Chains A and B, each alone.
Chain A
């Protein structure tokens, strides 16, 4: 008796399986045919880091404290800054990140005391040599502001 029961139950499970696939057949496809169509990125997307422009002062707030440089586990950030005079706040003069070795961990964004670092939404980063992967964030900020 269980022989027939097994056959019927097994057969019915096959029919159910086929119902699942035929529903998938008529559902819209989830592929986005890049590069003819592009996806809109969510705000949580982690591209390489860049300076945030604060509307009150119109520029970034990096004080060249070096926390991000010390925190980075891959050691890819290099920050240099100057002080105008004693007791003046430090201003960053150079900010370089070697993006070829960045692991997008986000520790630099988290630890920045002035909240000046943020993720960008750039993912189309083709360069011709490995050294072009070293990004100068101050130059990029100037490009963005013009």
Chain B
């Protein structure tokens, strides 16, 4: 009994360390990749000095952020102010538990895996609101309010698109959904849902062109105006890890997860296929960021309620009709 509990605890701690390490290394790599992609799209190099081709640049940035003074504004609600970055980062870590990295590489293959991810991602929206409010800064508050409105508006078409896939597989369990794509990936069966998912996912993670809440030239810096040092670093980290999570969910739900094309694995392990797909999707998200101008806030909300929502509802109805009658 005692040794069972001990081995359980050891498994939990080791798993936690692995997840934390993976998310940190991933964020490190993604920040570097973003800067390089941005640079080359703009016909310049990006970071080149620190390390070969600037690979160690993010570490240098991290060290800089750690060394900065943690300023708390005088009239700010300091309890909320300090807890908000942590609250933004934690739900994102929880989502790692159910991601299907490979056939036997899911930490916990819960039968409500999909629901867990979207439930916890909504928690981080609350933390953004807390951070913006607690800063006692009208720009931060406006940025936080806009972020919450945007997240809530784009959550609905996102979930409807996911629901279309779930209707097809009749299961919320990731291993079953990925398993059902061994012949044909769902992106070919549900292209509209896939597109809606990708658009709503970029809006959910506050990425351009939907990054009004945190844009550098709008509202000073949006909801993280008053944050300095590692607190700001945590918001940043949470955003990149969130990007990874939504890309991983897209890869699992629409792009076949750990399967190769047409079900052939070509001798490459499933993990490698999965990670390759995730990073290609992440590259596409970055490519979109550096191509399009920022969407105005009313245009953003119009797009969600008047275009995304009807399209995703239509897609759901068509999926249901096809499943019923064919």
Contacts and interface: CB of A to CB of B under 8 A. Distances in A.
B40 interface: yes
Given A7-B307, A29-B40, A20 B45 contact: no
B287 A31 contact: no
A62 B195 CA distance: 74
A18 B289 CA distance: 10
Given A17-B292, A18-B287, A25 B41 contact: yes
Interface string B282-311: 000001101110000000000000010000
B48 interface: yes
Nearest to A17: B291
A30 interface: yes
B291 A20 contact: yes
Contacts of B287: 18, 21-22, 25
B62 to A, nearest CB: 25
**Which range contains the number of B residues in contact with the other chain?**
10 to 19
B291 A29 contact: no
Contacts of B41: 21, 24-25
Interface of A: 7, 14, 17-18, 20-22, 24-25, 27, 29-31, 33
Q: Summarize A's interface: helix, strand, loop or mixed.
A: helix
Contacts of B290: 21
Interface of B: 37, 39-45, 48, 287-288, 290-292, 307
B45 A31 contact: yes
A17 B290 CA distance: 10
Nearest to A6: B307
A100 B287 CA distance: 45
From B41, B44, B48, name the one whose CB has the most chain A CB atoms within 10 angstroms: B41
Given A20-B291, A22-B287, A29 B48 contact: no
Given A17-B292, A21-B290, A31-B43, 20 more contacts: A7-B307, A14-B292, A18-B287, A18-B291, A21-B41, A21-B287, A21-B291, A22-B287, A24-B40, A24-B41, A24-B42, A24-B43, A25-B37, A25-B41, A25-B287, A27-B43, A29-B45, A31-B45, A33-B45, A33-B48
Contacts of B37: 25
A89 B115 CA distance: 96
Nearest to B40: A25
A27 B44 CA distance: 10
A22 B42 CA distance: 10
Nearest to A14: B292
